[in-house]
Structure 1
């Protein structure tokens, strides 16, 4: 496929779908400038691809690329994020004690709910979620299948959601 045809197709799609693409990116990154940058970056990468094969569903390709780029950006920001005290909101009239109290209450509630999980599921949940081990690593350690690991994690999330929402 020639670069000229691809650029014309992408230009038409860009004009037609920019708002949708922007909203998809904004949903992930929650920042206007970052969302715009991601959409432009993805469009540029599509045009600059080394493999010039035909992309049948160009809109779908761009949407998936936007989502993946957003997720990569979020992951890299989490790794680089440090707390800047100047960015924290100002707290008026001693609300800090209330905020800390409620945060500590939520943490205590979560810890209690986790402690009530079934022991085998709790250990798998701890490894996969809290220690961020990969499913296949946990499966090897516990001599269980990856699908069993996924089942236990899903079951724990469901139990925690029910306990935390309805308690």
Structure 2
């Protein structure tokens, strides 16, 4: 068991903070929320112990940010449907845009191949560990990783227009 070197983490945070905020923003559509996502990831990383060293820390953090952003979207979708709609027009328009982006994202997740979709839902949306997802599905951990990689690749490809639309 070990922890990530805090100096390495601090250096990465300073170097890539804006890039990661933009990545999160491309999912959540709100600058403050995207800053919260990135900062929360780093707080968790500073506190977390790992069973094995992380080979590519930047890639690992990118994945964490994507996953956390998707969870935030799902949470905000739930609360959005419960809100009353008598808010300012611009705020309402922003919510509609965000909701449309979320709908597009979830339609794309729904369109994933069956195994990839199930793995994505278990690991990303339900936050299960690879081992648990593998056990539930009766497949190996490497197959879980394969399906996750495939899911993210397909989502990146199918959602590239959404990114451009946001900016």
State the structure with bigger RCO (CA 8 A, min sep 6), 1 or 2.
Answer: 2
Larger Rg: 1
User: What is the TM-score of this pair, normalised by structure 1?
Assistant: 0.49
